Structure 1
């Protein structure tokens, strides 16, 4: 007869024991009011707790299910009616064990981070700008459905009410951190997702989104194809990569210009020089913000974006040096690649990386992105497990 401990064979027992000890320590730290006096530190501890808590919860579920299975088997020896229950418990043990194995697989260290997203109108002129505005609404509704907050940091409107470009901050609230994916998610089925945070869900949205429909600007009723570019970056905390960012963000490396904000077509919306443009001289990265009313607020927002862009540039350089087997994202390293098509005549959305098709375009644009995002997360999880297995050979 199996013993609950036998069901942990093949799993990293020392690591599991260390994670249980870390879980207890993180609980102690989170109960300390002093931690919450430092919002940045509290956020980092909360992220780590959400990651470890999933693993420890899965381990406890596995142990409990194994004990239930063994108890049912003992009863079945005397009463055959318990045999079916023992079989169900055995299947649950196998499912929970696989789930725990997936949770322990290597994953993106940034999965628990919040994100900065940029949406840019591309080929298609005004039609592209109008669809970019629809995509902004789509991500806003998706964020609301998960209990996240979406803030428009900077945006430029088009003449017909679309957006030429927009920079967004999407952050998980304290209650949302640690949430799993939707039904059938990348690591669903056994209770909760293997990855937490906004980046885990939205990192695969980066790329070119193509739309096929009859534009409102088209009088002949012909279907046009337009494109919108999306860039997603994990948001950098002020304390992230402290030494690197301190050096990179030194005043000697920055040129800060102020100018007057303007609206669509160049019309003035502000009579003071409140808009801010920051140029990072070593890399040539340029960030500008004009949505806030004060120069100080625009400067803070621009610095926030610059920090994340520098962190993303560092990640990209590391990815370029890594071997292909260590690149775990689902073909999103090349952000110029077309990743998705929204076909209005057929009410269909197609993800070109995973082959997943959704026949509910209207619902998708209303924020129902779970199935599409889950298809990318499943592909990533499967790739990580393959990479981990190859590394063990």
Structure 2
């Protein structure tokens, strides 16, 4: 498996050559992509060289141990064993770095929360989820931007869409810490069990909300023909359907070839709403294209790219027991209040670990 690293040396040198060209930095999107790949390869090659160096050191220590087995050779033999343990650990790290990664892991994310079963209670739960993700983003130093929202009568959300972006504060290093790399595990159906505010008898109800996480696509990632778009404008509406804008500022964009429809009404300007809608449309088209490619791939390829079924009911939030349970990984904790305040690291870590384990198995096969 490690022989594959040798082929990365030439790619790393080529990237270094391109990044030294001042004209490359005139295209910021391309420069960012090249820098991300360069950082990823630099980390792999550094680990690989450490693994090779340790191999040489082990050989030298064993040779010295053999020259004087009854004297100082014992110390060299012990050193060889220590170096062997270090090399095994480095090999494990290198194996993880070589596991096929989701090419979108270095991207920012667009996160959508939609109410589902449960009516008004589901909309209130959707608002709780949005707050949870906003707090999680704050903890990681990410920036959130509200793109579109449709509120319910009681202050929840029928649907809400936010962009989550890495910042310099988040110290994004290209090692899987970008928003999409972690938030993608949140996609799926989230179930809540609690007493709704509208329940007069104090009975626990079950409702659900859906979360969709998309890698934010840049114009470079997706080509859209303006002739394939149907754009409609209408007046924004608030809870209960009342008009909140006297002008036709809301925008609905239909991508005719795929039938994908995106609407935005959060901004006061029609132009701003159109820009936000196009951001969401690009991300949905990117995901649709990748899903289509995955469907045509082999089972092994799919297991590497989509190890977690994101259409299933992934998590339950039980308020009476203060319990949160992830049905994919088996993670369970009785600190629901902390999770809803943005402390999602243990939950996300359990998904990342399960995903890595599945990818390592696929590589082994």
TM range, normalised to the smaller chain? 0.7 to 0.9
1:114 aligns with 2:89: no
Aligned to 1:20: 9
TM-score (norm 1): 0.82
Aligned to 1:37: 26
TM-score (norm 2): 0.87
2:110–2:280 Cα contact (<8 Å) kept: yes
Aligned to 2:183: 202
Q: Could you tell me how far apart the structure 1 residues matched to 2:138 and 2:50 are? A: 30
3-state SS in 1 of match to 2:2? coil
Worse-matched range after superposition: 225-234 or 18-27: 18-27
Query: Deviation at 1:220?
Result: 2.2
Worse-matched range after superposition: 259-268 or 303-312: 259-268
Aligned to 1:269: 244
- Aligned-pair RMSD on alpha carbons? 2.6
1:151–1:170 Cα contact (<8 Å) kept: yes
Worse-matched range after superposition: 337-346 or 377-386: 377-386
Per-residue CA shift, 1:219-271, capped at 9, x if unaligned? 32221111010111222220114xxx2xxx32322111111112222233222
1:342–1:349 Cα contact (<8 Å) kept: yes
Aligned to 2:343: 368
Per-residue CA shift, 1:325-375, capped at 9, x if unaligned? 322323425x2x211111122222111112122332122112222221122
1:253–1:282 Cα contact (<8 Å) kept: yes
Per-residue CA shift, 1:127-150, capped at 9, x if unaligned? 211111111111122222223222
Query: Deviation at 1:28?
Result: 5.4
Aligned to 2:41: 52
1:330–1:353 Cα contact (<8 Å) kept: no
Q: Could you tell me how far apart the structure 2 residues matched to 1:65 and 1:173 are? A: 37
Q: Could you tell me how far apart the structure 2 residues matched to 1:270 and 1:21 are? A: 57
| Residue 296 to residue 384, structure 1, CA distance change in 2 (3 Å) | same
Match of 2:217 among 217, 222, 236: 236
Q: Could you tell me how far apart the structure 1 residues matched to 2:164 and 2:61 are? A: 47
| Residue 134 to residue 68, structure 1, CA distance change in 2 (3 Å) | farther
Match of 2:195 among 185, 192, 214: 214
Q: Could you tell me how far apart the structure 2 residues matched to 1:130 and 1:107 are? A: 35
Q: Could you tell me how far apart the structure 2 residues matched to 1:100 and 1:256 are? A: 49
1:115–1:169 Cα contact (<8 Å) kept: yes
Q: Could you tell me how far apart the structure 2 residues matched to 1:294 and 1:209 are? A: 33
1:261–1:290 Cα contact (<8 Å) kept: yes
1:146–1:176 Cα contact (<8 Å) kept: no
2:323–2:334 Cα contact (<8 Å) kept: yes
Q: Could you tell me how far apart the structure 1 residues matched to 2:344 and 2:140 are? A: 11
| Residue 293 to residue 85, structure 1, CA distance change in 2 (3 Å) | farther
Q: Could you tell me how far apart the structure 2 residues matched to 1:364 and 1:30 are? A: 41
Segments of 5+ residues of structure 1 without an aligned counterpart are: 1-9, 181-194
| Residue 88 to residue 36, structure 1, CA distance change in 2 (3 Å) | same
Query: Deviation at 1:298?
Result: 0.9
